[in-house]
Structure 1
Amino acid sequence: MNDHEVLDALRNSLDTVTMSTPVERIEAAGRVRRHRRVLVGTAGVAAAAALAVAVPALGNPATAPPSAGDSAGAGSVHIRTAAYSVDTKADGTLVATWDKSAYFSDHAGLEKALRRAGFPVLIKEGVFCKGPHDDGKLSPSGSGPGVANVMRGERAGDGRVTFTFVPAAMPAGKRLFIGYLNAAQLASVHMNPGSVERIVPADGPLTCTTTPPPEHHYH
Structure 2
Amino acid sequence: MNEDTPGTTEVLETLKASLAGVGMPTPVEQIVAAGRARGRRRRLAKVTVAAAAAAGLALGVTTYGNPSTAPPTAGGSGSQTAAVHIHTAAYTVDSNADGTIHVTWDKAKYFEDSAGLQAALARAGFPVLVKTGEFCRGPADHGTLDPSGVGAGVDKVMKGESLSGGRVEFVFVPSAMPKGEQLFIGYLTPAQLAVTHGRPGSVERLVPTGVPLVCSTQAPAPNPGS
Structure-2 change in CA distance of 1:128 and 1:73 (3 Å): closer
Tell me which residue corresponds to 1:47: none
Counterpart CA distance in 1 for 2:177 and 2:219 is 25
Which amino acid in structure 1 is aligned with residue 142 of structure 2? D
User: Which amino acid in structure 2 is aligned with residue 89 of structure 1?
Assistant: N
Distance 1:77 1:132, change over 3 A: same
Unaligned runs of 5+ in 2: 1-64, 69-78
Structure 2 counterpart of 1:202, from 193, 206, 209: 209
Q: 1:103 deviation in Å?
A: 3.7
Task: Work out the CA distance in 2 between the residues paired with 1:200 and 1:194.
Answer: 19
Residue identity in the other structure for 2:111: F
1:120 aligns with 2:119: no
Distance 1:114 1:85 in 2: 10
Give the CA deviation at 1:156.
1.5
Superposition TM-score, scaled by structure 1 size: 0.65
Aligned amino acid, residue 159 of structure 2: R
Decide whether aligned partners of structure 1 residues 200 and 100 sit closer, same or farther in structure 2, where only a CA change above 3 A counts: closer
Q: Name structure 1 gaps, 5 residues minimum.
A: 1-60, 65-71
Aligned to 1:186: 193
Of all paired residues, the percent bearing the same amino acid is 57
Equivalent residue, structure 1, for 2:26: none
4+ residue runs over 3 A deviation: 61-64
Q: Relative to 1, partners in 2 of residues 1:199 and 1:100: Cα closer, same or farther, differing over 3 Å?
A: closer
Cross-structure match for 2:147: 140
TM score, norm. by length of structure 2: 0.63
Give me the CA root mean square deviation.
Answer: 2.1
CA contact (8 A) 1:103 1:161 kept: no
Say whether 1:108 aligns with 2:96.
Answer: no
CA contact (8 A) 2:92 2:103 kept: yes
CA positional deviation for 1:133: 1.9
